[in-house]
Structure 1
Amino acid sequence: MPLPSRAPTPLRDHRASPPTPRPAPRRAPARRPALAAVLAVLALLAAGLGVFASAAPASAAGLTQVSSFGSNPGNLAMYEYAPANLPAGAPLVVAMHGCTQSASDYFANSGWQKYADLWGFALVLPQTSATNNSLSCFSWFDSTKDTRGKGEAASVVSMVSAAASQYGSDTHRVYVTGLSAGAGMTADLLADYPDVFAGGSVDSGLPAQCATTQTAASQCQYGSLNLTPAQWGDKVRASDPGYGGPWPRVAIWQGTSDTTVQPVNATELRDQWTNAWGIGQTASSTQSLPGGTSLSVYNDPQGKPAVELYQISGMSHGLAVDPGSATDQCGSTGTYYIDTICSSYYTARFWGLDGSGGTGGGGTGSLPAPAGLAVTGTTGTTASLSWSAVSGAASYTVYRGGTAVGSPTGTSFTDSGLTAGTSYTYTVAAVDSSGKAGPVSSAVTATTTGGGSGACFTDNNYNQVAAGRAHQSGGYAYADGSNQNMGLWNVYTVHTLKQTGADSYVIADGTC
């Protein structure tokens, strides 16, 4: 089914008064407040956007429905997820499914749960239904539903307010992402509520307020409006008159072989958000990423990435995932979940959810990512790495699991103080003479030596699973061999496992 996210229906001004309760403003407050044709449009969307997985809300481990969350003019359902013992002040991410999909489908396949567990943030997953749209699409194309203070847009902000209150979230770090129709609504939300959302990710989607009628939606989806960057930027500025910034930081993901949402939409999104930021359309830096992905970074005046454009060679319509256990791998393949690169990982890093400060895939420096990162040796407590030199690099920053652990001036590094028999993921970035780190390299995994019967390993459940001493099922971790339940699969639950044989472990807290 099509991308009815921006299906045919105008994008009017949803601007009525915001829902109550609404999150405390992130930035400076500046508010104010034909049947045959429709059937033809729906048929077009169904043919072009392809039917996503069933919209019926299947259960997903750990995903909870919230029956009451405040004002709900858009008639949406709210689902949420948070890792155990989530501290107050953590970020909040809103993730929006595509047409005919459901919240649980997106939760299970997109990879966002992995990073919520790993880096500690809450998830909100809005869900629409066939009652709202026959294809269960978010109404990115309907101005009575996708503008500030109205319809679905207002309902999503009500969800944000409820979740932020429940979890004590940092209202300066609220983000929104979506696929296809959900991506169209994501772009609208960023324009409608720049005071609520610090950043967004538009995956196979369209520019904010691209269509203003249902019949115009197909032109956005399959063609180009041929607007200038200033005209695209005006659509953002008109969505919340009087707001002067700062603007959300926007990631744009697009397959070059997408016939459902033409690739020109990615360029138009780039034009729209760079213009809103007041920066040019010439990339500050570019680099190649896994999965045939080309990244173009557009920095703000302070040299920090404001807009990132990810173009995936040969990918059709869908969300980019990369199943696997490495830190930079995520998600499950399926209809409209395409095995190329883990878009959720790079988006989360762009927003700084990993503690990197929002360097994303691009970093703030101009030097390229080091090539040839390799593990040259391991012991029970160390891992040694090497990589190719980058011309102009004054030093390098080595990251373990996204956290900086070293700043060598040469092209090798030995990380110490590690746990025996444990897997660690590393990346490295080149640092220029001004101290700015560039984009990170591809990741490698190093596994320390040791283990054997009687060996003990203390680590969080997420890392125990990654190291191969445990496995996860239904959001819980279980010790390999003994199958003992270790509790929730996250970074906040820590156990000691004692090895009792080949691939066999028991919980041994306080006994090793």
Structure 2
Amino acid sequence: MPDVLHGLDEMIRLRQRWTRLMTGNSEAPLRDPAGTEATADRLTEVTAFGGNPGALRMLRFLPPDLPRGAPLVVALHGCTQSAAGFDHGCGWSDLAGQIGFGLLMPEQRRENNGNLCFNWFEPEDTRRDSGEALSIRQMIGWMLEHDGLDPRRVFIAGLSAGGAMTSVMLATYPEVFSGGAILAGLPYGAASTVPQAFEAMFQAPQRSAGERGDAVRAASRHQGPWPRVSVWQGEADATVRPGNAEEVLKQWLDLHGLEIGHPTLQEARPGETYRAWGRGEDRPLVEIHSIPAMEHGVPLHAGTGERRAGSAGPFLLDVGLSSPHAILDFWGLGEPPQRRFAVDRNGEAWEVHGFSPASLLDKALRIVGLR
């Protein structure tokens, strides 16, 4: 046990050093007139978004000229990570700019958890209208209202403790989300104490599908429809055992009235085994990506170019498979929105789908050969 604890301490120390390097925390934040704080990277902090009973930080990114009614993606970091470091590693804000969605990245504070884990196992933080769960819900509400985003297209994804907190949010506020993605996470209700949390992580106790589903049904008065869920798991993960992914599947398949033994699609793909469940819709309701030999972290195809995003680092693993791209595809957000433009008979361009008049006019003139 001392060797294990020493290894964890060393891992946390290295992770903290990497995060400081990636986020530039030595620089002081800058105030802007909207009452937010611009961090050293592209995320902006909002400080007055609600009562914030969970005492979390709210950081957000809006691409320039994002049209009203755009989707919202919430991304939850893992233990020892920061929001900015997680964004840098996964490339979420880059994808937000390319595709067109608002990005919310809640961040844990060390005063709440010494390892910067979201408290997915604390009853006060995992109930509807309480603690960290309510803080994240207040952040979402603030962005939907303040930034004019689409309440029908809100999605959430998280890694490890952030993945388990994603389970919490999908369970306690299922009416808020159209879809979720749980990466190396755990099912809702897996633990309510620290010892239970470690047992769940390292042993992945099996429960019936009905029991897993009932935990979510008891978390709110919602009776459906339920969010669509994508599950990601490395088969060599020794931090959150792969059995947890099967328990997450049981939970959401039970809610959707589907059976784990009867996937509608199962196939070996380059770098992964894929299973999906649905009822003949264009996209499945529940899916899992199992990645052989991958340890604990986010699967990435790091760099720039087609189907690439982010930068490899601790718990950000370049395995040649971009989970952020695949998750956005699963949610139906994978392609940039179709941009239309219009020019009236007097040559004046009008703003359509987020384009400025100047950019519309420029494009129109190029089409007719005048520029």
The C-alpha deviation readout for 1:439-493, integer Å capped at 9, x for no partner, is xxxxxxxxxxxxxxxxxxxxxxxxxxxxxxxxxxxxxxxxxxxxxxxxxxxxx97
Q: How does 1:12-161 map to 2 (within 5 A)?
A: 47=8, 50-51=11-12, 53-54=15-16, 58=25, 59-161=39-141
Return the offset for 1:239: 1.0
Using the aligned pairs only, state the percent identity: 36
Question: For 1:267, which of 228, 233, 246 is the aligned residue?
Answer: 246
Question: How many Å separate the matches in 2 of 1:275 and 1:320?
Answer: 27
Question: How many Å separate the matches in 2 of 1:69 and 1:237?
Answer: 28
Contact 2:325 2:334 in 1 (8 A): no
Question: For 2:231, which of 248, 252, 257 is the aligned residue?
Answer: 252
Return the offset for 1:323: 1.4
Question: How many Å separate the matches in 1 of 2:284 and 2:140?
Answer: 25
Question: How many Å separate the matches in 2 of 1:74 and 1:45?
Answer: 30
Q: 1:495 to 1:349 in 2, by over 3 A?
A: farther
Question: How many Å separate the matches in 2 of 1:248 and 1:270?
Answer: 13
The structure number with the bigger radius of gyration is: 1
Bigger proportion of residues as strand: 1
DSSP 3-state at the match of 1:257: coil
Return the offset for 1:224: 2.3
Structure 2 unaligned runs (5+)?
Answer: 26-38, 339-357, 363-368
Q: What amino acid is aligned across from residue 237 of structure 2 in structure 1? A: D
Return the offset for 1:286: 2.1
Q: 1:81 to 1:275 in 2, by over 3 A?
A: same
Contact 2:283 2:330 in 1 (8 A): no
The C-alpha deviation readout for 1:34-69, integer Å capped at 9, x for no partner, is xxxxxx9xx869839942732666345321111111
State TM-score, norm by structure 2: 0.81
Q: What amino acid is aligned across from residue 315 of structure 1 in structure 2? A: M
Question: For 1:189, which of 169, 177, 193 is the aligned residue?
Answer: 169
DSSP 3-state at the match of 1:305: coil
Q: What amino acid is aligned across from residue 64 of structure 1 in structure 2? A: T
1:199 maps to 2:199: no
DSSP 3-state at the match of 2:241: coil
Bigger proportion of residues as helix: 2
Q: What amino acid is aligned across from residue 226 of structure 1 in structure 2? A: Q
DSSP 3-state at the match of 1:144: helix
The C-alpha deviation readout for 1:190-231, integer Å capped at 9, x for no partner, is 000001111111111111121022111111100122201111
The C-alpha deviation readout for 1:312-333, integer Å capped at 9, x for no partner, is 1100001111113333111100
Q: What amino acid is aligned across from residue 256 of structure 1 in structure 2? A: E
The C-alpha deviation readout for 1:402-452, integer Å capped at 9, x for no partner, is 98xxxxxxxxxxxxxxxxxxxxxxxxxxxxxxxxxxxxxxxxxxxxxxxxx
Q: What amino acid is aligned across from residue 109 of structure 1 in structure 2? A: G
Question: How many Å separate the matches in 2 of 1:45 and 1:216?
Answer: 22
Partner of 1:316: 295
1:230 maps to 2:210: yes
Contact 2:100 2:337 in 1 (8 A): no
Contact 1:298 1:305 in 2 (8 A): yes
Contact 2:72 2:103 in 1 (8 A): yes
Question: How many Å separate the matches in 1 of 2:243 and 2:40?
Answer: 35
The C-alpha deviation readout for 1:118-164, integer Å capped at 9, x for no partner, is 11000000011110011111000001012111100000000001111
Contact 1:142 1:212 in 2 (8 A): yes
Q: What amino acid is aligned across from residue 85 of structure 2 in structure 1? A: D
Contact 1:81 1:124 in 2 (8 A): yes
DSSP 3-state at the match of 1:65: strand
Structure 1 unaligned runs (5+)?
Answer: 1-39, 356-400, 404-491, 497-509
DSSP 3-state at the match of 1:308: strand
Q: How does 1:288-303 map to 2 (within 5 A)?
A: 288-290=268-270, 292-300=271-279, 302=281
Moved beyond 4 Å, runs of 4+: 43-46, 492-496
Return the offset for 1:165: 1.1
Q: CA RMSD in A?
A: 2.6
Q: 1:78 to 1:493 in 2, by over 3 A?
A: farther
State TM-score, norm by structure 1: 0.59
